[in-house]
Amino acid sequence: MKEITLPSGKTATFKQGKGYHLLYAQRKSKAIDEIQYALVAELVEIDGASLTYEELLEMDIFDVSTLITEMNKLGESSTAEQSSSSAQPQDGNSAK
């Protein structure tokens, strides 16, 4: 989980995303452009409260933009972590 402060001063907490979060976001979206917004609504709590897709769309544009940007950063850092862990040498003792 990651916590950030939005431009409005509210606290946003990102939950660890799972496949079902993406599936739910895809189901809620009417167009491909909406998936990232629906996914943010699935993964974020604002000041400790769950967020609906409709509530996200009613939020201040700078808060929404910050949430989208932060979610993209989380995805990039997760991909980088996976790449670096797969590049580490194996010790050959995995078949015990």
**Which amino acid would we find at residue 64?**
V
d(CA 45, CA 59): 13
Specify the residue for token string 């609906």.
Answer: 52
Q: What is the pLDDT of residue 1?
A: 83
pTM, two decimals, is: 0.76
Instruction: Identify any residues that bridge with 50 across adjacent strands, giving them in sequence order.
Output: 45
Q: What is the pLDDT of residue 96?
A: 45
Tens of pLDDT, residue by residue, the chain (96 residues): 899 999 999 999 999 999 999 999 999 999 999 999 999 999 999 999 999 999 999 999 999 999 999 998 887 766 666 666 655 555 555 554
Q: What is the pLDDT of residue 82?
A: 63
